[in-house]
Amino acid sequence: MLFSFGMDCLEIKDLTVAIHGQRILDGLSLVVPKGEVHAIMGPNGSGKSTLAKVLAGHQDYEVVSGQVLMDGQDLLAMEVDERSRAGFFLAFQYPYEIPGVSNANFLREAVRARLGSGEEIDAVSFYKRLYGLMDELGIDRKFTGRSVNEGFSGGEKKRNEILQMAVLEPVYAVLDETDSGLDIDALRVVAEGVNRMRSPHRGFLLITHYQRLLNYIEPDFIHVLAGGKIVRTGGKELALELEETGYDWIKEGALATA
Amino acid sequence: MSEDSATLDAVLVDQSQGNFAYPEDYELDAGRGLGPETLNYISEVKGEDQWIRDFRHRALEIFERKPMPTHWASAELDEIKFQEIRYYLAKGRRPTRSWDEVPEDVKRTFERLGIPERERGFLAGVEAQFDSEAAYSNIKEEFDKLGVIFVNSSEGLREHPEIFRKWFGKVIPSGDNKFAALNSAVFSGGSFIYVPPGVKVKHPLQAYFRINAEQFGQFERTLIIVDEGAEVMYMEGCTAPKFETATLHSAVVELVAMPHAKIQYITVQNWSSNVFNLVTKRGLAHEGAEIRWIDCNIGSRLTMKYPGVIMKGRKARGEVISIALANTGQHQDTGAKMIHAADETTSNIVSKSISIGEGRATYRGQVHIPKHLKGCKNNTECDALLINSHSRTDTYPAITVRGNRHATQHEASVSQVSEEQIFYMRQRGLSEAAAMSLSVNGFVNDLVREFPMEYSVELKRLIDLEMEGSVG
Ligand SMILES: Nc1ncnc2c1ncn2[C@@H]1O[C@H](COP(=O)(O)OP(=O)(O)OP(=O)(O)O)[C@@H](O)[C@H]1O
Ligand SMILES: [Mg+2]
């Protein structure tokens, strides 16, 4: 993609990323415009989480070359927390635990970090909104008092990521395998949560291994990541095809197009 | 500005905080250095009886005889210059420094910590007296009715010798350690409290209800006696950093809980990095009595403090809950001492330390249960949190349990605030400093809850401030 989409998209241009000198992403380009849902699929170890973490600003990854623009802003030049406050959200594949810090307290600090100086959170409306979102996501209200992710089951952690996303209302959200580990009901609830947030002012990038999620959250495009770049892009029918064929075709195909 | 007030100013306020120069006037205090004449001067000013004069002199001899405990403690102790210290300042001098003269960063710190307006002046050395006369006089009236005595230690000595003398120096004899001996020789300031049988004091007693220039002295001596079935909570210190040039603080606190009495002693102190804070605190718990030390130490060049409880009567209980925070250039050497001296006594120690930068935290615990006793219990937990790889933490638990009719439990952990955890929090929009302080607050959260409300709020803010300073 040689032209720029401008303001209303998350635009990844020719991104090459290495860790400990080893290239993981190799000239990856992808554009997620506001209002669209894109899905990335691809074999284990192909670099999907690497892409997500590089976008979030994880220090372990070295950006060798390329550019990422979020609504025209140079995302890679921003601090991790600046990116978040500017509207970038990552639902982690493996969310971290924060012992001793309650969920409610953590969310309140995250919301407070977005306020201007002198502004304060109104506790009553904060809790009202939080409880409302928890109810929608089927999260017990008792979870407000529990330490962030500590002792949460795999599925509870994933749901908690979606709760955080709902509270913070990002402009671009990357969901890294949020569906993995969810039971069938939870998957539906989480998908509904994401669908409620779909809007012309928000873009999503879903990382998943399963077509099932995409039945609930219908993507506009599906991309296949392999060999460090996007090797195929298609509509939602691509997921069905992948379910059939697996990734064996990449070995020859990717080499042929490289 | 009169010369005497200027002298006090110079003592209370760290001169490095602003460009202040004060004349020194040796006539109005004991001058620098330590010798028998220093003790005589103090006794003279206070008009003390012969027995207390003798007590001081005997203590001085012990102090001079005892070697520095550097065979086990930090060699930094050798850097204390005893002959350069002022051991006593005549009381009743009012500083006249005005609020406008208090350096901006000091004011900002008060602001950030949320120190109530009315306390700021006192803490900044603008007022010698904490302005709480009205509050205190109400309480005083109530105390008089109940027979509760709450005075400074000199007044206690003078007005209530029959109770004072019986217990003074009994829980912590002058020979206990070198610094207890030093305190016994030159003590001034501190509180004396007596609560009569069955009286449960509703309000926590706060050291600054009746503070004067002497109270925040370097060598406070506090004695609290709570009679049968009575209860009291005492709070000392505050989270505001203390601005002073005095580099040695060496207090002694003795608690006596008569049968079935309860004492809670709460300390929050935030020292600047030049202070040696060497404090001896111990309580004596009679049958069925309970003594709890809740202790938070922040800063200082070196703090050595191991609050203890001697459980002398059956079913007595002792507890030490402590938080220590050491930043670069600081060393917190803290712990607890639990001496079980009767059957079915129970002790609990929970210690959490945080080391930031090059800060160092050491835990020393001593739990002693002799062979002839039965049914004693001890629980010890010490957790250390390291904020970066330069930090250092050591644990020296010494649990001597003889006989097999006891239950003891010991847990220790060392953890780091992981980079992944910080990354996760920053991804949600928190600055690095905010993420750090939230993690640290999380680490001490369960202990902070043991502090009274206003202290726990201040503690949280204080941790925020420390983290802000420690992150790039
Ligand atoms: N911190 C790291 N240290 C070393 N290697 C890493 C690190 N992070 C990622 N890698 C390597 O980079 C490659 C891509 O990993 P990544 O986690 O991005 O894959 P993924 O596509 O998300 O896989 P999965 O589908 O299993 O989640 C893998 O080979 C992985 O081992
Ligand atoms: Mg992954």
pLDDT at B119 over 70: no
Residue B25 reports pLDDT greater than 90:
no
CB A157 near ligand 1, within 6 Å: no
Q: Which residues on A lie below 8 Å from B425 (Cβ)?
A: 98, 106
Amino acid residing at B1: M
Q: Which of A243, A184, A185, A186 is nearest to A210 (CA)?
A: A243
| CB < 8 Å to A105, chain B | 438
Residue whose structure tokens are 């969920």: A103
The reported pLDDT for the residue numbered B411 is 87
Task: Say yes or no for a CB contact (<8 Å) between B429 and A90.
Answer: no
Spell out the residues 6+ positions from residue A80 whose beta carbon is closer than 8 angstroms to its own.
A56, A57, A58, B423, B426, B427
Token look-up 């490095």 returns B16
Residue that wins the pLDDT comparison between B17 and A137: A137
What is the average per-residue pLDDT within B260-287? 92
Q: Mean pLDDT throughout B308-316?
A: 98
Q: Mean pLDDT across chain B, nearest whole number?
A: 81
Fold for the domain defined by A9-96+171-257: Rossmann fold (3.40.50)
Cβ-proximal residues to B317 (8 Å cutoff; 6+ apart), any chain: B285, B289, B290, B291, B311, B345, B346, B347, B348
Confidence of residue B109 (pLDDT cuts 50, 70, 90): low
B201-228: average pLDDT? 72
Q: How far apart are CA B459 and CA B361, in angstroms?
A: 18
Place of tokens 């003590």: B187
- β strands within B84-218, DSSP E: 149-152, 191-195, 205-206
Q: Whose CA is nearest to atom 3 of ligand 1?
A: A19
- Look at the block and give the residue holding tokens 């004991």: B30
Determine the 3-state secondary structure of B231 from DSSP.
strand
State the Cα–Cα distance between residues B117 and B110, nearest whole angstrom. 9
Pocket lining: A24 vs ligand 1, CB cutoff 6 Å: yes
Helices (H) and strands (E) in chain B — how many of each?
12, 19
Per-residue confidence (pLDDT) for residue B239, from 0 to 100: 60
Average pLDDT on A177-203 reads: 93
- The answer, yes or no, to whether any atom of ligand 1 lies below 6 A from the CB of A144, is no
pLDDT, position B51 = 95
Residue A211 has pLDDT above 90, yes or no: no
The encoded tokens of residue B324 equal 């220590």
Q: Whose CA is nearest to atom 7 of ligand 1?
A: A19
Question: What mean pLDDT comes out for the span B283-296?
Answer: 97
Residue B17 has pLDDT above 70, yes or no: no
CB-side exposure of A188: number of CA atoms within 13 Å? 2
Q: Is the CB of A45 under 6 A from ligand 1?
A: yes
At a CB cut-off of 8 Å and minimum separation 6, what does B338 contact? B308, B309, B311, B318, B320, B347, B349, B365, B366, B367, B368, B378
Asked if residue B382 lies in contact with residue B395, where contact means CB atoms within 8 angstroms, the answer is yes
pLDDT at A252 over 70: no
The arrangement of strands across the sheet holding A9-19 comes to A22-33, A9-19, A62-70, A73-74
- pTM for the whole thing? 0.79
Chain A residue nearest residue B440, CA to CA: A100
Per-residue pLDDT tens for B382-397? Answer: 999 988 766 667 777 7
Q: What is the pLDDT of residues A86-110, one digit of tens each?
A: 999 999 999 999 998 999 999 999 9
pLDDT above 50 for B11: no
Using a 6 Å cutoff on CB, does residue A59 contact ligand 1? no
Residues of A in contact with B471 (CB under 8 A): none
How many CB pairs (< 8 A) connect A and B? 75
Mean pLDDT of A142-147: 93
DSSP B468: H
Give me the amino acid identity at B449: R
Q: Checking phi first, is residue B16 left (phi over 0); if not, alpha (psi -120 to 50) or beta?
A: alpha
Structural domain spans, chain A: 9-96+171-257
CA dihedral (B417, B423, B424, B426) in degrees, to 10, reads 110
Copy the structure tokens of residue B386: 């390291």
3-state helix, strand, coil in chain B (%, to 5): 35, 30, 35
> How far, in Å, from the CA of A49 to the mean position of ligand 2?
4
Decide the pairing of beta strands B290-299 and B262-271: parallel
Tell me the chain B residues in contact with residue A80 when contact means C-beta distances shorter than 8 Å. 423, 426-427
Pairing mode, strands B290-299 and B252-257: unpaired
Pairwise CA distance, residues A167 & A129, whole Å: 8
pLDDT of B70 > 80? The answer is yes
Arithmetic mean of pLDDT, B277-282: 96
CB burial readout B428-466, b (16+ within 10 A) else e: bbbbbbbbbbbbbbbbbbebbebbeeebbebbbbbbbbb
Residue A65, judged by CB atoms within 10 A of its CB (0-12, 13-18, 19+), counts as exposed
Contact A89 B427 (CB under 8 A): yes
- CA atoms within 13 Å, Cβ hemisphere of B351: 35
Return the ∠ at Cα B421 (arms to B416 and B425), rounded to 5°: 135
Residues B80-107 have a mean pLDDT of 67
Using CA positions, which residue lies closest to atom 13 of ligand 1?
A45
Give B-chain residues touching A99 at CB under 8 angstroms: 442-443
Pairing of strands A22-33, A9-19: antiparallel
Amino acid, single-letter form, for residue B362: T
pLDDT range class, residue A257, cuts 50, 70, 90:
very low
Summary count for chain A: helices (H), strands (E): 9, 12
- Give the least confident one: A162-176, B141-155, B204-218, B250-264: B204-218
Most confident among B26-30, B75-79, B304-308 (mean pLDDT):
B304-308
Structure-token pair, residue A73:
């802003």
Q: Write the CA distances from B292 to B167, B310, B353, B409, integer angstroms.
A: 19, 12, 19, 19
Distance CA B69, CA B399 (A): 21
Cβ distance A90 to B427 less than 8 Å, yes or no, reads yes
Q: Report pLDDT digits (tens) over B394-447.
A: 777 777 777 778 888 888 888 888 889 999 999 999 999 899 989 999 999 889
What is the mean predicted confidence (pLDDT) over A71-75?
95
Q: In this structure, what are the phi and psi dihedrals at residue B223, rounded to the nearest 5 degrees?
A: -135, 120
Query: Which pLDDT does position B273 carry in this prediction?
Result: 80
The closest of A81, A71, A75, A72 to A63, measured between CA atoms, is A75
Determine the Cα–Cα distance for residues B425 and B423; give it in Å rounded to an integer.
Answer: 5
Residue B384's closest CA among B394, B399, B373, B398?
Answer: B394
- Residues 6+ away with beta carbon under 8 Å from B304: B73, B74, B179, B277, B278, B279, B333, B334
What is the C-alpha separation between B184 and B64, in angstroms, rounded?
12
Nearest to A80 among B427, B439, B442 (CB): B427
Antiparallel, parallel or unpaired: β B231-237 and B191-195: unpaired
pLDDT more than 70, % of chain B: 78
Burial (CB < 10 A; 0-12, 13-18, 19+), residue B327, is buried
pLDDT at A85 over 70: yes
Gyration radius from chain B CA atoms: 22
Q: What is the ipTM of this complex?
A: 0.95
**Average pLDDT, stretch B362-371?**
91
Ligand 1 centroid to A47 CA: how many Å?
6
Give the model's pLDDT for residue B461. Answer: 78
Tokens representing residue A53 in the block: 């973490």
Pick from B426, B430, B443: CB nearest A100? B443
Contacts of B246 (CB under 8 A, 6+ apart): B11, B85, B86, B218, B275
